[in-house]
Amino acid sequence: MGKLRTLLPVLVALLISSVSFADEEYKFDISEIEKKPYHIGGYVEFRPAIFWLDNNAALYKLRFFNQDEGTTAEEYNGNLQLEGSYEKGIARLFFLVNGNLTYSYQGWSDSLDLYEGTLSLKPSSSLAIDVGKATQKWGKGYAWNPVAFVDRPKDPEEPDLAREGFWMASADYIKSFAGPLKTLSITPVILPVYDQINDEFGKINELNFAGRLYLLLYDTDIDLVFLSGGSKTPRFGFDFSRNISTNFEVHGEFAYINNFKQKTIDEQGNVSESKFDAKSYLLGMRYLTKTDTTFILEYYHNGMGYTQDEIGSFFSLVDKSYETYLSSRNRGSLTKAQSLAVNYGGVNPMKDYLYLRVTQKDPFNILYFTPALTSIINLDDGSFSLAPELTYTGIKNLEVRLKAMANVGHNGSEYGEKPSDYRLELRVRYYF
Protein backbone atom coordinates (compact mmCIF):
# COMPACT_ATOMS: atom_id res chain seq x y z
CA MET A 1 0.00 0.00 0.00
CA GLY A 2 2.92 2.31 0.79
CA LYS A 3 4.40 1.66 -2.63
CA LEU A 4 1.06 2.49 -4.27
CA ARG A 5 0.92 5.82 -2.41
CA THR A 6 4.43 6.58 -3.60
CA LEU A 7 3.68 5.68 -7.25
CA LEU A 8 0.27 7.42 -7.43
CA PRO A 9 1.60 11.03 -7.54
CA VAL A 10 4.17 9.99 -10.14
CA LEU A 11 1.49 8.40 -12.37
CA VAL A 12 -0.76 11.46 -12.04
CA ALA A 13 2.13 13.76 -12.95
CA LEU A 14 2.97 11.62 -16.00
CA LEU A 15 -0.68 11.58 -17.09
CA ILE A 16 -0.97 15.38 -16.84
CA SER A 17 2.28 15.93 -18.72
CA SER A 18 1.28 13.46 -21.47
CA VAL A 19 -2.08 15.19 -21.93
CA SER A 20 -0.31 18.56 -22.16
CA PHE A 21 2.15 17.11 -24.67
CA ALA A 22 -0.70 15.60 -26.68
CA ASP A 23 -2.47 18.96 -26.79
CA GLU A 24 0.70 20.53 -28.08
CA GLU A 25 1.46 17.74 -30.57
CA TYR A 26 -1.98 17.44 -32.14
CA LYS A 27 -3.06 21.06 -32.18
CA PHE A 28 -5.21 21.46 -35.29
CA ASP A 29 -4.49 24.37 -37.62
CA ILE A 30 -6.71 24.43 -40.72
CA SER A 31 -4.34 26.83 -42.48
CA GLU A 32 -1.75 24.04 -42.63
CA ILE A 33 -3.98 21.79 -44.76
CA GLU A 34 -5.71 24.42 -46.88
CA LYS A 35 -4.80 24.14 -50.53
CA LYS A 36 -2.94 27.22 -51.66
CA PRO A 37 -4.17 28.85 -54.87
CA TYR A 38 -0.65 29.19 -56.25
CA HIS A 39 2.37 26.97 -56.77
CA ILE A 40 5.91 27.66 -57.91
CA GLY A 41 8.83 25.27 -58.28
CA GLY A 42 11.46 23.91 -60.60
CA TYR A 43 15.16 23.15 -60.58
CA VAL A 44 18.60 24.54 -61.32
CA GLU A 45 21.15 22.29 -62.98
CA PHE A 46 24.86 22.20 -63.75
CA ARG A 47 25.96 19.67 -66.37
CA PRO A 48 29.60 19.53 -67.52
CA ALA A 49 30.48 16.99 -70.23
CA ILE A 50 33.54 15.78 -72.10
CA PHE A 51 33.46 14.21 -75.58
CA TRP A 52 36.08 11.93 -77.13
CA LEU A 53 35.92 12.89 -80.81
CA ASP A 54 36.17 10.65 -83.89
CA ASN A 55 37.85 12.74 -86.58
CA ASN A 56 37.29 10.01 -89.18
CA ALA A 57 33.51 10.06 -88.78
CA ALA A 58 31.38 11.70 -91.48
CA LEU A 59 29.38 13.84 -89.05
CA TYR A 60 32.62 15.03 -87.42
CA LYS A 61 33.92 16.15 -90.83
CA LEU A 62 30.62 17.86 -91.60
CA ARG A 63 30.66 19.81 -88.32
CA PHE A 64 34.39 20.54 -87.86
CA PHE A 65 35.68 20.56 -91.44
CA ASN A 66 37.43 23.95 -90.98
CA GLN A 67 38.46 23.47 -87.35
CA ASP A 68 40.96 21.36 -85.44
CA GLU A 69 39.25 20.30 -82.24
CA GLY A 70 41.83 17.69 -81.29
CA THR A 71 40.80 14.45 -79.62
CA THR A 72 38.47 15.81 -76.93
CA ALA A 73 35.95 18.62 -76.51
CA GLU A 74 34.43 19.99 -73.34
CA GLU A 75 31.01 21.48 -72.75
CA TYR A 76 29.50 23.22 -69.72
CA ASN A 77 25.74 23.59 -69.40
CA GLY A 78 23.69 25.53 -66.89
CA ASN A 79 19.93 25.08 -66.88
CA LEU A 80 17.03 26.68 -65.03
CA GLN A 81 13.51 25.28 -65.27
CA LEU A 82 10.74 27.18 -63.54
CA GLU A 83 7.08 26.28 -63.36
CA GLY A 84 4.15 27.86 -61.60
CA SER A 85 0.37 27.93 -61.46
CA TYR A 86 -2.44 30.00 -59.98
CA GLU A 87 -6.03 28.84 -59.52
CA LYS A 88 -9.13 30.84 -58.82
CA GLY A 89 -12.63 29.51 -59.28
CA ILE A 90 -12.90 27.65 -62.57
CA ALA A 91 -9.71 29.23 -63.97
CA ARG A 92 -6.09 28.08 -63.77
CA LEU A 93 -2.95 29.76 -65.13
CA PHE A 94 0.14 27.61 -65.72
CA PHE A 95 3.61 28.34 -67.07
CA LEU A 96 6.81 26.40 -67.65
CA VAL A 97 9.99 28.33 -68.56
CA ASN A 98 13.33 26.82 -69.55
CA GLY A 99 16.62 28.73 -69.64
CA ASN A 100 20.01 27.46 -70.80
CA LEU A 101 23.55 28.84 -70.65
CA THR A 102 26.18 26.80 -72.51
CA TYR A 103 29.91 27.09 -73.10
CA SER A 104 31.28 24.82 -75.84
CA TYR A 105 33.73 24.84 -78.74
CA GLN A 106 31.48 27.46 -80.35
CA GLY A 107 31.82 29.79 -77.36
CA TRP A 108 28.98 31.02 -75.18
CA SER A 109 25.32 30.56 -76.08
CA ASP A 110 22.12 31.09 -74.16
CA SER A 111 18.39 30.70 -74.54
CA LEU A 112 15.24 31.46 -72.58
CA ASP A 113 12.06 29.80 -73.83
CA LEU A 114 8.48 29.58 -72.71
CA TYR A 115 7.82 25.84 -72.92
CA GLU A 116 4.21 26.06 -71.75
CA GLY A 117 1.86 28.89 -70.86
CA THR A 118 -1.85 28.14 -70.66
CA LEU A 119 -5.13 29.45 -69.36
CA SER A 120 -7.46 26.61 -68.38
CA LEU A 121 -11.16 26.90 -67.67
CA LYS A 122 -13.09 24.08 -66.03
CA PRO A 123 -16.79 24.98 -66.00
CA SER A 124 -17.74 21.46 -64.90
CA SER A 125 -16.09 18.24 -63.71
CA SER A 126 -16.43 16.76 -67.19
CA LEU A 127 -15.26 19.70 -69.33
CA ALA A 128 -11.97 21.62 -69.50
CA ILE A 129 -10.85 24.21 -72.05
CA ASP A 130 -7.16 25.19 -72.56
CA VAL A 131 -5.73 28.09 -74.56
CA GLY A 132 -2.04 28.90 -74.89
CA LYS A 133 1.28 27.17 -75.44
CA ALA A 134 0.97 23.51 -74.47
CA THR A 135 2.05 19.92 -75.03
CA GLN A 136 -0.51 17.17 -75.57
CA LYS A 137 1.79 14.20 -74.80
CA TRP A 138 -0.05 11.75 -77.05
CA GLY A 139 1.28 8.23 -77.24
CA LYS A 140 2.17 5.42 -74.86
CA GLY A 141 5.79 4.81 -75.86
CA TYR A 142 8.66 5.66 -73.53
CA ALA A 143 11.45 6.49 -76.02
CA TRP A 144 9.38 7.31 -79.13
CA ASN A 145 5.82 8.43 -79.87
CA PRO A 146 4.91 8.07 -83.56
CA VAL A 147 1.32 9.26 -82.85
CA ALA A 148 2.40 12.52 -81.12
CA PHE A 149 1.24 14.54 -84.12
CA VAL A 150 1.04 17.92 -82.32
CA ASP A 151 4.16 17.64 -80.14
CA ARG A 152 7.87 17.98 -80.79
CA PRO A 153 9.66 14.61 -80.96
CA LYS A 154 11.31 13.16 -77.88
CA ASP A 155 15.05 12.72 -77.50
CA PRO A 156 15.22 8.94 -76.85
CA GLU A 157 18.50 9.45 -74.95
CA GLU A 158 16.62 11.70 -72.47
CA PRO A 159 12.90 10.95 -72.96
CA ASP A 160 11.86 12.38 -69.58
CA LEU A 161 13.02 15.93 -70.33
CA ALA A 162 10.36 18.61 -70.75
CA ARG A 163 9.75 19.74 -74.34
CA GLU A 164 8.64 23.03 -75.78
CA GLY A 165 5.00 23.08 -76.79
CA PHE A 166 3.03 24.77 -79.56
CA TRP A 167 0.40 27.50 -79.39
CA MET A 168 -3.02 25.87 -79.57
CA ALA A 169 -6.57 25.75 -78.25
CA SER A 170 -7.98 22.49 -76.98
CA ALA A 171 -10.79 21.03 -74.89
CA ASP A 172 -11.35 17.85 -72.91
CA TYR A 173 -14.78 16.29 -72.43
CA ILE A 174 -14.83 13.27 -70.11
CA LYS A 175 -17.68 10.84 -69.47
CA SER A 176 -17.71 7.82 -67.13
CA PHE A 177 -19.73 4.63 -67.50
CA ALA A 178 -20.48 1.50 -65.50
CA GLY A 179 -19.99 -1.19 -68.18
CA PRO A 180 -16.92 -2.53 -70.01
CA LEU A 181 -16.36 1.01 -71.33
CA LYS A 182 -15.46 2.80 -68.10
CA THR A 183 -14.23 6.16 -69.44
CA LEU A 184 -14.55 8.11 -72.69
CA SER A 185 -12.95 11.46 -73.45
CA ILE A 186 -12.83 13.67 -76.54
CA THR A 187 -10.02 16.19 -77.13
CA PRO A 188 -10.34 18.53 -80.14
CA VAL A 189 -7.28 20.68 -80.93
CA ILE A 190 -6.85 23.80 -83.10
CA LEU A 191 -3.24 24.62 -84.00
CA PRO A 192 -2.57 27.76 -86.11
CA VAL A 193 0.66 28.13 -88.09
CA TYR A 194 1.57 31.65 -89.18
CA ASP A 195 4.67 33.80 -89.30
CA GLN A 196 6.14 33.87 -85.76
CA ILE A 197 3.38 31.54 -84.51
CA ASN A 198 4.24 27.82 -84.61
CA ASP A 199 6.22 28.41 -87.81
CA GLU A 200 8.47 25.44 -86.92
CA PHE A 201 5.48 23.10 -87.11
CA GLY A 202 5.19 23.16 -90.92
CA LYS A 203 3.83 25.19 -93.80
CA ILE A 204 2.74 28.65 -92.64
CA ASN A 205 -0.59 30.45 -93.12
CA GLU A 206 -2.55 27.32 -92.29
CA LEU A 207 -5.04 26.35 -89.60
CA ASN A 208 -4.62 22.76 -88.46
CA PHE A 209 -7.15 20.56 -86.70
CA ALA A 210 -6.32 17.53 -84.58
CA GLY A 211 -8.16 15.34 -82.16
CA ARG A 212 -8.02 12.42 -79.78
CA LEU A 213 -10.69 9.96 -78.69
CA TYR A 214 -9.70 8.16 -75.48
CA LEU A 215 -11.35 4.95 -74.29
CA LEU A 216 -10.81 2.90 -71.15
CA LEU A 217 -12.29 -0.30 -72.55
CA TYR A 218 -11.96 -3.67 -70.80
CA ASP A 219 -9.19 -2.18 -68.61
CA THR A 220 -7.22 -1.19 -71.71
CA ASP A 221 -6.25 2.41 -72.46
CA ILE A 222 -6.91 3.18 -76.13
CA ASP A 223 -6.40 6.43 -78.07
CA LEU A 224 -7.57 7.21 -81.62
CA VAL A 225 -5.85 10.34 -82.98
CA PHE A 226 -5.70 12.38 -86.19
CA LEU A 227 -4.18 15.55 -87.68
CA SER A 228 -5.50 17.46 -90.69
CA GLY A 229 -4.92 20.89 -92.16
CA GLY A 230 -2.26 22.20 -94.49
CA SER A 231 0.96 22.57 -92.50
CA LYS A 232 1.58 18.84 -92.62
CA THR A 233 0.04 16.07 -94.68
CA PRO A 234 -2.97 14.30 -93.12
CA ARG A 235 -2.24 11.52 -90.64
CA PHE A 236 -4.05 9.30 -88.19
CA GLY A 237 -3.19 6.60 -85.70
CA PHE A 238 -3.94 4.77 -82.50
CA ASP A 239 -2.19 3.60 -79.34
CA PHE A 240 -2.94 1.24 -76.47
CA SER A 241 -1.64 0.30 -73.04
CA ARG A 242 -2.67 -2.58 -70.80
CA ASN A 243 -1.46 -4.00 -67.51
CA ILE A 244 -1.20 -7.75 -67.94
CA SER A 245 -0.41 -7.96 -64.20
CA THR A 246 0.51 -5.48 -61.49
CA ASN A 247 4.17 -5.55 -62.55
CA PHE A 248 3.88 -6.19 -66.31
CA GLU A 249 2.56 -3.66 -68.87
CA VAL A 250 2.45 -3.76 -72.67
CA HIS A 251 1.87 -0.82 -75.02
CA GLY A 252 1.91 0.05 -78.70
CA GLU A 253 1.34 2.76 -81.28
CA PHE A 254 0.58 2.94 -85.00
CA ALA A 255 0.68 6.03 -87.23
CA TYR A 256 -0.26 6.44 -90.90
CA ILE A 257 1.17 9.52 -92.64
CA ASN A 258 -0.42 10.34 -95.99
CA ASN A 259 1.76 11.67 -98.87
CA PHE A 260 4.92 12.08 -96.82
CA LYS A 261 7.67 13.96 -98.71
CA GLN A 262 11.24 12.81 -98.26
CA LYS A 263 14.39 14.47 -99.64
CA THR A 264 17.37 12.26 -100.49
CA ILE A 265 20.85 13.03 -101.78
CA ASP A 266 23.19 10.70 -103.69
CA GLU A 267 27.00 10.42 -103.68
CA GLN A 268 27.25 13.08 -106.42
CA GLY A 269 25.21 15.58 -104.42
CA ASN A 270 22.04 15.33 -106.51
CA VAL A 271 18.96 16.03 -104.39
CA SER A 272 15.66 14.35 -105.20
CA GLU A 273 12.26 14.25 -103.53
CA SER A 274 9.89 11.31 -103.27
CA LYS A 275 6.33 11.08 -101.98
CA PHE A 276 4.82 8.03 -100.30
CA ASP A 277 2.42 6.94 -97.56
CA ALA A 278 4.50 6.19 -94.46
CA LYS A 279 3.58 3.79 -91.66
CA SER A 280 5.32 4.04 -88.29
CA TYR A 281 4.66 1.79 -85.34
CA LEU A 282 5.96 0.83 -81.91
CA LEU A 283 5.52 -2.13 -79.59
CA GLY A 284 6.88 -2.16 -76.06
CA MET A 285 6.69 -3.52 -72.54
CA ARG A 286 7.61 -2.52 -69.00
CA TYR A 287 8.36 -5.18 -66.37
CA LEU A 288 9.15 -4.74 -62.66
CA THR A 289 10.75 -7.66 -60.82
CA LYS A 290 10.38 -8.51 -57.13
CA THR A 291 13.88 -7.12 -56.55
CA ASP A 292 12.88 -3.66 -57.90
CA THR A 293 14.58 -4.09 -61.28
CA THR A 294 12.68 -2.33 -64.08
CA PHE A 295 12.98 -3.40 -67.72
CA ILE A 296 11.69 -1.20 -70.55
CA LEU A 297 11.90 -2.73 -74.03
CA GLU A 298 10.56 -1.11 -77.23
CA TYR A 299 10.72 -1.88 -80.93
CA TYR A 300 10.21 1.12 -83.22
CA HIS A 301 9.70 1.18 -86.98
CA ASN A 302 10.19 4.65 -88.46
CA GLY A 303 8.27 4.68 -91.73
CA MET A 304 9.67 8.13 -92.55
CA GLY A 305 13.28 6.99 -92.06
CA TYR A 306 16.07 6.34 -94.55
CA THR A 307 17.26 2.97 -95.79
CA GLN A 308 20.81 1.77 -95.19
CA ASP A 309 21.74 2.51 -98.84
CA GLU A 310 20.30 6.04 -98.65
CA ILE A 311 22.17 7.01 -95.51
CA GLY A 312 25.31 5.29 -96.81
CA SER A 313 25.19 7.52 -99.91
CA PHE A 314 24.99 10.57 -97.67
CA PHE A 315 28.03 9.53 -95.63
CA SER A 316 29.96 8.80 -98.85
CA LEU A 317 29.09 12.26 -100.16
CA VAL A 318 30.39 13.85 -96.95
CA ASP A 319 33.68 11.92 -97.18
CA LYS A 320 34.21 12.92 -100.83
CA SER A 321 33.21 16.53 -100.17
CA TYR A 322 35.63 16.73 -97.26
CA GLU A 323 38.50 15.46 -99.43
CA THR A 324 37.58 18.05 -102.06
CA TYR A 325 37.62 20.76 -99.40
CA LEU A 326 41.06 19.71 -98.17
CA SER A 327 42.52 19.78 -101.68
CA SER A 328 40.79 22.87 -103.13
CA ARG A 329 39.10 24.66 -100.18
CA ASN A 330 35.85 24.35 -102.14
CA ARG A 331 33.07 23.83 -99.64
CA GLY A 332 30.14 23.76 -102.08
CA SER A 333 29.36 20.06 -101.68
CA LEU A 334 29.79 20.22 -97.92
CA THR A 335 27.34 23.11 -97.76
CA LYS A 336 24.79 21.08 -99.71
CA ALA A 337 25.27 18.12 -97.37
CA GLN A 338 24.92 20.41 -94.33
CA SER A 339 21.52 21.56 -95.60
CA LEU A 340 20.25 17.97 -95.18
CA ALA A 341 22.20 17.13 -92.02
CA VAL A 342 19.13 17.78 -89.87
CA ASN A 343 17.49 14.84 -91.71
CA TYR A 344 20.38 12.41 -92.10
CA GLY A 345 22.26 13.35 -88.94
CA GLY A 346 19.25 13.80 -86.69
CA VAL A 347 17.91 11.56 -83.96
CA ASN A 348 17.38 7.99 -85.23
CA PRO A 349 17.05 8.81 -88.96
CA MET A 350 16.79 5.20 -90.19
CA LYS A 351 14.03 2.58 -90.21
CA ASP A 352 14.20 0.07 -87.36
CA TYR A 353 15.33 0.45 -83.74
CA LEU A 354 15.33 -1.42 -80.46
CA TYR A 355 15.35 0.40 -77.12
CA LEU A 356 16.32 -1.27 -73.84
CA ARG A 357 16.57 0.35 -70.43
CA VAL A 358 17.30 -1.49 -67.17
CA THR A 359 17.21 0.27 -63.79
CA GLN A 360 17.88 -1.18 -60.34
CA LYS A 361 16.54 0.60 -57.27
CA ASP A 362 18.68 0.51 -54.08
CA PRO A 363 21.04 -2.35 -55.07
CA PHE A 364 22.84 -4.09 -52.16
CA ASN A 365 20.54 -2.10 -49.83
CA ILE A 366 22.27 1.18 -50.74
CA LEU A 367 19.41 3.62 -50.25
CA TYR A 368 18.70 6.42 -52.76
CA PHE A 369 21.12 4.88 -55.26
CA THR A 370 19.89 3.81 -58.73
CA PRO A 371 22.20 2.44 -61.43
CA ALA A 372 20.82 2.09 -64.96
CA LEU A 373 21.88 0.90 -68.39
CA THR A 374 20.32 2.13 -71.65
CA SER A 375 20.96 0.96 -75.19
CA ILE A 376 19.50 2.04 -78.54
CA ILE A 377 20.22 -0.45 -81.32
CA ASN A 378 19.90 0.33 -85.03
CA LEU A 379 18.56 -2.96 -86.40
CA ASP A 380 19.27 -1.93 -90.01
CA ASP A 381 23.06 -1.58 -89.73
CA GLY A 382 23.86 -3.18 -86.35
CA SER A 383 25.31 -0.03 -84.76
CA PHE A 384 24.23 1.02 -81.27
CA SER A 385 24.71 3.31 -78.31
CA LEU A 386 25.39 2.11 -74.78
CA ALA A 387 24.82 4.41 -71.79
CA PRO A 388 25.48 3.33 -68.17
CA GLU A 389 24.53 5.80 -65.43
CA LEU A 390 24.57 6.17 -61.65
CA THR A 391 22.01 8.35 -59.83
CA TYR A 392 22.00 9.36 -56.15
CA THR A 393 19.12 11.21 -54.44
CA GLY A 394 20.04 10.82 -50.76
CA ILE A 395 20.34 14.57 -50.11
CA LYS A 396 17.07 16.48 -49.83
CA ASN A 397 16.05 18.17 -53.11
CA LEU A 398 19.36 17.21 -54.74
CA GLU A 399 19.92 14.74 -57.59
CA VAL A 400 23.39 13.75 -58.77
CA ARG A 401 23.82 11.66 -61.92
CA LEU A 402 26.99 10.41 -63.61
CA LYS A 403 26.36 9.16 -67.15
CA ALA A 404 28.62 7.77 -69.85
CA MET A 405 27.82 6.96 -73.47
CA ALA A 406 29.58 4.96 -76.16
CA ASN A 407 28.67 5.01 -79.87
CA VAL A 408 29.57 1.70 -81.49
CA GLY A 409 29.44 0.83 -85.19
CA HIS A 410 31.39 0.28 -88.39
CA ASN A 411 32.15 2.91 -91.02
CA GLY A 412 28.99 3.92 -92.85
CA SER A 413 26.69 3.02 -89.95
CA GLU A 414 24.61 5.51 -87.97
CA TYR A 415 26.45 5.30 -84.65
CA GLY A 416 29.79 4.62 -86.32
CA GLU A 417 29.60 8.02 -88.06
CA LYS A 418 28.68 10.07 -84.97
CA PRO A 419 31.12 12.94 -84.28
CA SER A 420 32.17 11.43 -80.94
CA ASP A 421 32.91 7.87 -79.83
CA TYR A 422 32.45 8.45 -76.11
CA ARG A 423 30.85 10.97 -73.77
CA LEU A 424 31.02 11.42 -70.02
CA GLU A 425 28.78 13.90 -68.19
CA LEU A 426 27.88 14.85 -64.64
CA ARG A 427 24.44 16.27 -63.85
CA VAL A 428 23.83 18.03 -60.55
CA ARG A 429 20.22 19.16 -60.18
CA TYR A 430 18.67 21.01 -57.23
CA TYR A 431 14.86 21.09 -56.95
CA PHE A 432 13.00 23.87 -55.20
pLDDT tens digit string along 345-379?
A: 889 999 999 999 999 999 999 999 999 999 999 99
Residue 169, domain member (yes or no): yes
pLDDT at 15 over 50: no
CATH of the domain at 242: 2.40.160
Residue 29 pLDDT level (bands cut at 50, 70, 90): low
Number of structural domains, the chain? Answer: 1
Residue 99, domain member (yes or no): yes
Residue 138, domain member (yes or no): yes
pLDDT at 260 over 90: yes
What's the confidence (pLDDT) of residue 3?
Answer: 40
pLDDT at 98 over 60: yes
Share of the chain above pLDDT 70, in %: 92
Specify the range with the lowest mean pLDDT, choosing from 105-109, 140-144, 375-379, 392-396: 105-109
Average pLDDT score, the chain: 92
Residue 426, domain member (yes or no): yes
Residue 41, domain member (yes or no): no
Query: CB–CB of 368/362 below 8 Å?
Result: yes
Segment 88-93 mean pLDDT = 97
Residue 212, domain member (yes or no): yes
Residue 317, domain member (yes or no): yes
Domain span at residue 106 reads 51-431
Alpha-carbon span 120 to 431, nearest angstrom: 26
Residue 36, domain member (yes or no): no
pLDDT at 178 over 50: yes
3-state helix vs strand vs coil in the chain, percent to 5: 15, 55, 30
